[in-house]
Chains A and B, each alone.
Chain A
């Protein structure tokens, strides 16, 4: 296992991850049995090189597995599963959740599948798809708006993506928003939205929208970082899609 001190530093090792480890099994049948832990994300006032969301850089590389838990119980089971898996796994941990979030975690050894999305909360009116810290932004909004029936799905596995689970939910609700901390272009959120638009077009009552951070390097000062993150846009887009 390799711990990246901050996931931002991973740029130094892109060749080994994306060209060596990712392609090894396809090329000549060998296992690159490696887990890379990636402390990641913003909200900790750490500036452009300690705050980035780097998951999309890897999620598009065949041969890698990319997981991004949003809570402690999930994190433990996925991490142990990553060590059972003989493939290169990039394991994202949100730094801002390390000490701010508690949940019930069984003390014994357990592992859970790396490739499954999770329905965090079932609902009927709107599917909201998120991962990592963004799951908690949506939860907070839902607490404030118990009158709206939202189906919240945590993607968990960013490669492979559990398309059937996402698709089934959007067919059911007919409306969908994807929420992410990353910026838009070439992101997980934009990929999910475009795929679901194609898969679910005939079921949709509104265009699928993606809520992303501003198209900027992540600024340091708390006032600027708050502006960069999409909290205000999230509220606005939820209203737009629900009232479309």
Chain B
């Protein structure tokens, strides 16, 4: 796969690196208290994110700084988020990368490392039902892939032909635990086929390769909705602990060398770009640290726990009637009328389609509303509820 390096792409790759460098300094200086580093993994995030269309959702993890920079989140607000400031994306309510932004079509992680995968299934299902030819991208790591959610979500994605690209970032470590203590297979590329999906394993430190491969895979998913599994192997490392032999794998160093060699940018142009980005990062961090800390106002905190309900109930209590029916019939009638009223409503459950559910609450629904909206599910409660969490945004 031919890839021509460009200064513009190097910019996208170097920006998260400049953030990493600055955060590690700020950490040592005691200016910040915690930093989830993805130093050395920039090419995976940047390459995959840039292969996605702007209106396609990306479900991120804590080693995906490059997605946030590639989607051009304003750095001051991003850093204010990292530092728990009132002006960050969660108003100080959640830490570091535990946030999303609908504006940038990023669904943020929770601490449970498999939980993104089910949500991605739901977003992909929504897009697929609309026949939009769009793809969803979700990341997990070699650590997160040990969770049960990984199994459930891949299975559901395969059974429902969901347009989702599942990227496993294999950096060889689950925090401190090396791969050999987590799994005994050689590559995550063995996982996809086991669920009936295609899988590819690539060198995640090669930006050009990550970008071109992801473009090819996502284009194909957009054309024919189905899931694919991409393993991007890389190395997680910090500059101080960098083993010399790994330096040659550093995606930034490699891309920089390729760019120079191509003759498309000079050393001085590259240097100027790096200095410019580093200065911008420092300036943004300084500005973020000036942002206000949150203040505790219980009323305001409580007010944000629930989404406001925009309508009133039609009645205070059930209207009078002389028609007597059973509880199961009332539930069924309620579901039926909800399906009529909310055209985006999708029902998911075990044996709810042709069989009508074990209590027959949805008997006849699949004939009436079709198999897209009345869906039998595999025994994957976590992935199915996960799919339901954000499906309404995908639709």
Task: Point out the residue from A79, A87, A100, A116 that lies within 8 Å of B338, measured CB to CB.
Answer: A79
Pairwise interchain contact B334-A107, C-beta atoms closer than 8 A? no
B287 at the A interface (CB under 8 A):
no
Q: A63-B306, A105-B318 are contacts. A112–B324 as well, Cβ < 8 Å?
A: no
**Is residue A165 within 8 Å, beta carbon to beta carbon, of the partner chain?**
no
B295 within 8 A of A: no
Stretch at the interface among A66-74, A177-185, A191-199: A66-74
- Residues of B contacting A103 with CB < 8 Å? 324-325, 330
* B305 near A63: Cβ-Cβ < 8 Å: yes
Q: B184 at interface (Cβ–Cβ under 8 A)?
A: no
Binary contact track B77-106/A, C-beta < 8 Å → 1, others 0 = 000000000000110011000111110000
Give the interface residue-count category, chain A: 35 or more
Complex CA gap A81/B323 in Å reads 21
1/0 contact trace for B234-268 toward A, CB 8 Å? 00000000000000000000000000000000000
Contact A5-B382, Cβ < 8 Å, known A72-B330, A75-B334, A105-B318: no
A105 touches B333 (CB 8 A): yes
Query: Is B230 at the interface (CB under 8 A from chain A)?
Result: no
**Pairwise interchain contact A86-B309, C-beta atoms closer than 8 A:** yes
What class of interface size applies to chain B in its complex with A?
35 or more
| Chain B binding surface, main DSSP class | loop
Determine whether B316 belongs to the interface, using a CB cutoff of 8 Å to chain A. Answer: yes
A83 CB within 8 Å of chain B: yes
Contact of A106 among B110, B323, B329 (CB under 8 A): B323
Query: In the docked arrangement, what's the CA distance between A109 and B340, Å?
Result: 10
Residues of A within 8 A of B314 (CB): 109-112
Across the interface, which residues of B come within 8 angstroms of A12, CB to CB? 381-382
- Scan A76-90; emit 1 where CB is below 8 A from any B CB, else 0: 110111011111100
Chain B residue at minimum C-beta to C-beta distance from A10: B381
Closest to A50 in B: B358
Contacts of B93 in A (CB 8 A): 26-27
- The A-contacting residues of B in range 19-75, CB under 8 angstroms, are none
User: A71 contacts which chain B residues (CB < 8 A)?
Assistant: 327
- In contact, B389 and A21 (Cβ under 8 angstroms): yes
> B140 to nearest A CB, angstroms?
14
**Contacting residues, chain A, for B135 (C-beta < 8 A):** none
Which among B112-120, B219-227, B270-278 touches the partner chain? B112-120
Name B148's closest neighbour in chain A (CB-CB).
A12
* Contacts known (A3-B362, A19-B112, A104-B320); A30 close to B328, Cβ less than 8 A: no
B349: interface (CB < 8 Å): yes
B326 CB–A CB distance under 8 Å? yes
Which of A34-42, A225-233, A235-243 contacts its partner?
A34-42
Given A77-B315, A101-B327, A83 and B341 touching (CB < 8 A)?
yes
Is B323 touching A31 in the complex (CB atoms < 8 A)?
no
The reply on A118 being an interface residue by CB < 8 A is: yes
Is A98 touching B318 in the complex (CB atoms < 8 A)?
Answer: no
Known: A4-B349, A36-B385, A102-B324. A27 touches B94 (CB 8 A): yes
A2 at the interface (CB under 8 A from B): yes
Which B residues lie within 8 Å of A17 (CB)?
A: 385
B321 at the interface (CB under 8 A from A): yes
B386, A105: Cβ atoms under 8 Å? no
* Contact bitstring A117-158, B, C-beta under 8 A = 1, else 0: 010000000000000000000000000000000000000000
Q: Which of A76, A101, A114, A118 has the most CB of B within 10 A?
A: A76
Q: Which residues of chain A are near B8, meaning CB under 8 Å?
A: none
Residues in B with CB closer than 8 Å to A39 are: 358-359
| Residues B382 and A15 in contact, CB atoms below 8 Å apart | yes
Q: Are B381 and A104 in contact (CB under 8 A)?
A: no
Question: CB of A205 within 8 A of chain B?
Answer: no
Also in contact, A79 and B334, with CB within 8 A (given A3-B357, A20-B115, A99-B326): yes
In the complex the two chains form, is A4's CB within 8 Å of B337's CB? no
Residue on B with the closest CB to A160?
B306
Which residues on B sit within 8 Å (CB–CB) of A118? 317
Binary per-residue interface labels of chain B (173-193) against chain A in the complex, 1 for a CB within 8 Å, 0 otherwise: 000000000000000000000
Residue of A nearest to B357 (CB): A3
Given contacts A75-B334, A106-B318, A112-B315, 10 further A-B contacts (CB under 8 A): A5-B350, A5-B357, A16-B385, A20-B386, A24-B390, A26-B301, A27-B108, A76-B333, A93-B331, A112-B316
- Which B residues lie within 8 Å of A74 (CB)? 318
Which residues of chain B from 270 to 322 have any CB-CB distance to chain A below 8 Å in the complex? 301, 304-311, 313-322
